[in-house]
Chain A
Amino acid sequence: MNSIEVSDLKVSYDGKKYVVDGLSFDVEEGEIFGFLGPNGAGKTTTIRVLTTLIKPTQGTVNVLGMDVTKRGLEIRKRIGVILQQPSYEWNLSVEKNMYIYATLWNIPRSQVKKRIDELIEKFDLAEIRKVSAADISIGQRRRLQLVRELIHDSELLFLDEPTIGLDPIARKNLLTYFKSLAKDGTTIFFTTHNLEEADFLCDRVGIINHGRLYAIDSIDNLKATYEGDRTIEVLVNKAPERLAEKLKSRLVGAVVDGTFNKESPIKIVTNKVPDAMEIINEYIKEEGDSLLWLNIKKTELEDVFFKVVGEQQNE
């Protein structure tokens, strides 16, 4: 069964421009689905629709088999939502924040204390348990926001960049926990800018840009699609912008990107490595430049993302 079914979803905030522009995809029950895309791509907007915070301007969206425009309240009973936007009761302690949240979710009194104690222990909040949310660090607030959502059970969890601001240990701890939730049948819809995380956590990912889906598949399949591709990183001294120009005009089907300064390398994703090398050589001879750094590596999820988004921006 599908937990999420989106068909031709369009959303406009101002009535003129569609920031989500014809999305269609399904997420299966028990799946961890990663939603990737650059800033402003429309990820949070999509999550707002899926969590019934805003209405679709056009298209149909079903969550847990229910239409988001008609049965919002019923949907919200069964989902958990960690928004990108931070939120907390600023004048209450970490612990009281959790207790109030448990009350809002109507968790039976007999279970509340046990659950909260467990979560505080598991996610290492004991030290700040009695500290007011106004006086803890930003990463700690994010942790509070994440952990309180785990007080109640949900069939479907929406996580909008959940790990932002977390230290590596907290991050790992949390992702592992999400994985175990999925094993027990929770469906997870997840956005992140950290592609290693997506690689670690997700069964399938969708890549969105300017409100449209450009790729949607399992991570293995996506990598296989770009199997022949290699990522070349090259750093030169004199005129990186000229090298980039050359590569762009002569290397058919490649994606070339870089900020063209002396610190960050030009990045090329292509299946024609020898051609690329030739162009680089030619540039070095012509300009009398020297090669500062060159790296050729196998395609990672990051490169797939880069290529999908890049190809579309080159159009």
Chain B
Amino acid sequence: MNSTIRLTYRIIRSALDVNTISFLILLPVGYLLIMGLMMGSIIHSFNYGGSNLSYVSFIAPGIVADQILMGGSMAGWVLWSDKRTGMLEQIFSMPFSRFQYQLSNLIAMILVTFGGALIMILVAIPFISINITAYGFLLVFIYLVLGTLTFGSIMLALGATVRSNQVFNVISNVMFFVVTFTSSVFYPITSQTPRPLAMAAMLNPLTYVVDGIRGAFLNTSGVADVYYIAVLVTTSAIFMAIASLTYRRIKLSATV
């Protein structure tokens, strides 16, 4: 078996125990069903992109998109804890390159995002109206990958630099909620959205992932996707560069 695949397997095996998996699944399922169906009783249906939509159909693609934060935060956590438990140094003394380790972190987080997204789609399907094409699936795939690379790289940079457990958890939890709630996961960003919130949403890469995936679900994709994807390619490139810089600075190394 290829080295990177073995490392990826190890990351997933060591990071995802039953408790973590349950949390990763139950939290978004809770949002989807509780928020989606409960709010549905006060927001019957509303006009979005020219058609009438139930609230649960509106937030389902948002919850799917939100899975990029799950995958991303897992990878950051793995790096942080490998540093802490000595596994990083041990793995570096084994027949793997440092690039392979970081690559397998990226692959592992994308796989976790996909796993989460698939579960959310399956849970949501009985409750939502969905009109996705093969091209739409391709778009969902691209958005999930780019979104995971963006947020995963932020988390990897955090994992590489932060030392204490508390600091890592606090920052990652705060980021998790701020990012989710300043994006278009739970509400559309329209001309009526308060200015600061609209600004925050515009600067938040998750918004582009959500809007892109929502478009794919409702078969309303169009030229806007080019813009969304360009933004996400840029953010993933920037944050991957930062992640790689902080990764190289992890302290084992003597000066040469």
Q: CB within 8 Å of B: which residues of A?
A: 11-15, 45, 48-49, 51-57, 73, 76-77, 79, 81, 83, 85-92, 96, 100, 103-106
Contact = CB atoms under 8 A, between A and B. Distances in A.
Interface stretch (B10-18, B165-173, B215-223, B232-240): B10-18
Contacts of A51: 93
Contacts of A105: 94
B253 A103 contact: no
B254 A12 contact: yes
Contact of A45 (B1, B3, B17, B254): B254
Nearest to A20: B254
State the majority secondary structure of interface residues on A: loop
A83 B90 contact: yes
B14 A91 contact: yes
Interface stretch (B60-68, B81-89, B177-185): B81-89
Given A87-B87, A92-B17, 5 more contacts: A12-B255, A13-B255, A53-B252, A54-B252, A55-B253
B256 interface: yes
A48 B251 CA distance: 13
Contact of A85 (B86, B97, B253): B86
B14 A15 contact: no
A90 B253 contact: no
Interface of B: 1, 3, 6-7, 9-10, 13-14, 17, 81, 85-87, 89-97, 252-256
Contacts of A90: 81, 85
Contacts of B9: 103
Contacts of B10: 100, 103-104
B87 A13 contact: no
A91 B1 CA distance: 25
A76 B7 contact: no
Contact of A54 (B3, B91, B253): B253
Given A85-B86, A89-B85, A104 B256 contact: no
A303 B194 CA distance: 79
Given A91-B17, A100-B13, A55 B256 contact: yes
Contacts of B13: 92, 96, 100
Given A12-B255, A57-B255, A106-B6, A88 B87 contact: yes
Contacts of B81: 90
Contacts of A45: 254
Given A92-B14, A100-B10, A81 B254 contact: no
A53 B89 contact: yes
Given A73-B95, A103-B6, A104-B7, A85 B89 contact: yes
Given A15-B255, A54-B252, A103-B9, A87 B94 contact: no
B157 to A, nearest CB: 22
A81 B6 CA distance: 19
A54 B93 contact: no
Contact of B94 (A11, A54, A91, A104): A104
B6 A53 contact: no
A174 B255 CA distance: 36
Which residue, B92, B94, B254, has most C-beta atoms of chain A within 10 A?
B254
A83 B86 contact: yes
